[in-house]
Amino acid sequence: MPEIRQRRPANTGSLSIPAGGGIDPHWHEQHQIVYAGRGVLSVTTEAGSWIAPANRAIWVPAGTLHQHRAYGETALHTVGLTENPLGLDAPSALVVSPLLRELILTYTTPGGDVDERDRLRAVLLDQLRHSPQRPTYLPTPRDPRLAAVCKLLQDDPADNRTLAELGRQIGASERTLSRRCRTDLGMTFPQWRTQLRLHTALRLLAGGESVTRVAHQCGWASTSAFIDTFRRAFGHTPGSRKA
């Protein structure tokens, strides 16, 4: 990510972002909850990317340099917080319950009585404290050999070659690459590849692609296998995804 150290206030509010649009690298003095009420949004830092469908929000701690990218017409809702109700010092994806969704949408709508907004905020913070974390994180490799392998898959997520086969193309052993996966990515190579495919699937679905076509483009053996993986990751099927 470009080294653009631009500070922006963590304002509470909403913003419409066109498909393919985004917000350049910046940081906030406050913590921030980022939620896409419509569309799919990614948040990228130097460490990697988080992606948020309609039942996920992304926690961005104060001082974190990050940028946004919208997939599909996206309604961005942000809540700036001076407190840290989650006790997290790194970005994370949180499950958004139907109640939390309505609280975020209502709280980020301008207007309303001050006392009423204070009560909304108190309930919103309580809901955040009870929101489980769910991984939608795609870490960025630091090792150049592993980065080269990851780039091959980013260019073609349907590439089903093994780590050993990919390693031969870039001149690194499977053992070396497996070790770098653990140290650089904090996960195994198959786990990283699945995360990449899920990120790609969300972007393609937001662009209007069919479930069957997305399954094929992302490398799943069948549409049913894709649907099962997607449901386990996000709690709903890709066909029922809220746009």
Same-domain pairing of 105 and 38: yes
pLDDT band, very low/low/confident/very high, at 7 (cuts 50, 70, 90): low
**pLDDT at residue 56 is higher than 50:** yes
**pLDDT at residue 194 is higher than 80:** yes
pLDDT band, very low/low/confident/very high, at 2 (cuts 50, 70, 90): very low
Mean pLDDT is lowest, of 52-56, 68-72, 94-98, 154-158, for 52-56
**pLDDT at residue 138 is higher than 80:** yes
| Buried residues in 183-206 as b, exposed as e (16+ CB within 10 A) | ebbebebeebbbbbbbbbbbbbbb
Residue 38 structural domain: 13-137
Mean per-residue pLDDT of the chain: 90
pLDDT at 6: 54
Q: Based on C-alpha coordinates, what's the Rg of the chain?
A: 19
Taking each helix axis from N to C end, the angle separating 114-129 and 98-107, rounded to the nearest 10 degrees, works out to: 150
Same-domain pairing of 79 and 42: yes
Same-domain pairing of 21 and 129: yes
**pLDDT at residue 89 is higher than 50:** yes
Scan for tokens 């499977």, then name that residue.
174
pLDDT at 67: 94
pLDDT at 28: 92
Where are the strands (E) in 30-111, listed by range? Answer: 31-45, 48-52, 56-60, 66-81, 92-95
**What average pLDDT does this structure show over 206-233?**
95
Whether residue 123 is contained in a domain is answered as: yes
pLDDT at 10: 59
Same-domain pairing of 133 and 154: no
Whether residue 7 is contained in a domain is answered as: no
**pLDDT at residue 5 is higher than 70:** no
pLDDT band, very low/low/confident/very high, at 169 (cuts 50, 70, 90): very high
**pLDDT at residue 1 is higher than 60:** no
**What average pLDDT does this structure show over 15-38?**
93
Per the structure, the count of domains in the chain is 2
**pLDDT at residue 136 is higher than 90:** no
**What average pLDDT does this structure show over 79-99?**
91
Same-domain pairing of 20 and 78: yes
- The gap between the terminal CA atoms of the chain, to the nearest Å, is 27
Whether residue 2 is contained in a domain is answered as: no
CATH number at residue 188: 1.10.10.60
Same-domain pairing of 20 and 109: yes
Domain closes at, from 137, 153, 188: 137
Whether residue 5 is contained in a domain is answered as: no
Same-domain pairing of 130 and 165: no
CATH number at residue 115: 2.60.120.280
pLDDT at 3: 47
pLDDT at 94: 92
pLDDT at 132: 86
Query: What phi and psi values does residue 124 have, to the nearest 5 degrees?
Result: -60, -45
Q: Which residue has the higher pLDDT, 197 or 242?
A: 197
How far apart (Å, rounded) are the C-alpha atoms in residues 46 and 56? 21
Q: Name the pTM for this structure.
A: 0.84
Q: What is the dihedral of CA 28, 15, 50, 70, to 10 degrees?
A: -130
Domain closes at, from 137, 163, 188: 137
